[in-house]
Amino acid sequence: ISSWSAVSYSSVTVWSAHGLWLDGSTMTAVSYSTAVVGNSGFQALYLLDADGNAVTDSYFRNLAGMAVYLAPGSDRNTISRSTMIASAAVGWYGLYLWDADSNTISGSYLQSLAGVGAYLDTGADYNTISQSTMVSGTADRSALYLFAADGNLVLGSRASNPAGYAVTFDGGSDYNT
């Protein structure tokens, strides 16, 4: 999806492609939309080097892998009132941020019953998760996992994993609240 575009009230179901792909996009708006993917090599929502985009009131699911991926250089994006559900297979993430900074997730539901609800990986700094629910359901995983991710804020949210860890800070994750 190119910069300064708007996608609303849309539905995408694909197998060997990203559902919604923002590659270098700026100021793109996605709302009231659904994307479902059935392949572990792709995501329902994929941002790469994409800044200042807004996603609201949308549903993202991957039947075979991670649901939403904010890849390196994806900064200052917002995802609000949205659902992100990963595959029930072991090891996937509802939301995965890697080297993506100052993003805001609010009022959202992030689930990976056999993986991690929200994973902030190396260099994912100064992000905010607020008024959201993160869910895992397996003994050796966390609902929220941070690895080498600094200065992030989790506010008014719930991290639930009855079988394992609710929150894990690893790899020198510092100054998180």
pLDDT at 82: 98
Please name every residue paired with 56 in a beta bridge, in sequence order, or none if there are none: 31, 80
pLDDT at 36: 98
Q: What is the mean pLDDT of residues 52-58?
A: 98
Residue 43 has which token pair? 């995501």
Place of tokens 């090891």: 91
pLDDT at 106: 98
Q: What is the mean pLDDT of residues 150-171?
A: 97
Percent of the chain residues topping a pLDDT of 70: 100
Please name every residue paired with 11 in a beta bridge, in sequence order, or none if there are none: 34
At 87, the pLDDT band (50, 70, 90 cuts) reads very high
List all residues 6 or more positions away from 99 whose beta carbon is below 8 Å from its beta carbon: 71, 72, 73, 121, 122, 123, 124
pLDDT at 50: 98
Say if pTM beats, i.e. exceeds, 0.85: yes
pLDDT at 57: 98
pLDDT at 12: 98
pLDDT at 21: 98
Strands 68-70 and 109-112: unpaired
pLDDT at 119: 98
Could you tell me if 169 and 143 are in contact, meaning their C-beta atoms sit under 8 angstroms apart? no
Q: What is the mean pLDDT of residues 35-49?
A: 98
Q: What is the mean pLDDT of residues 100-125?
A: 98
pLDDT in tens, 117-159: 999 999 999 999 999 999 999 999 999 999 999 999 999 999 9
pLDDT at 31: 98
CA distance 108 to 129: 9
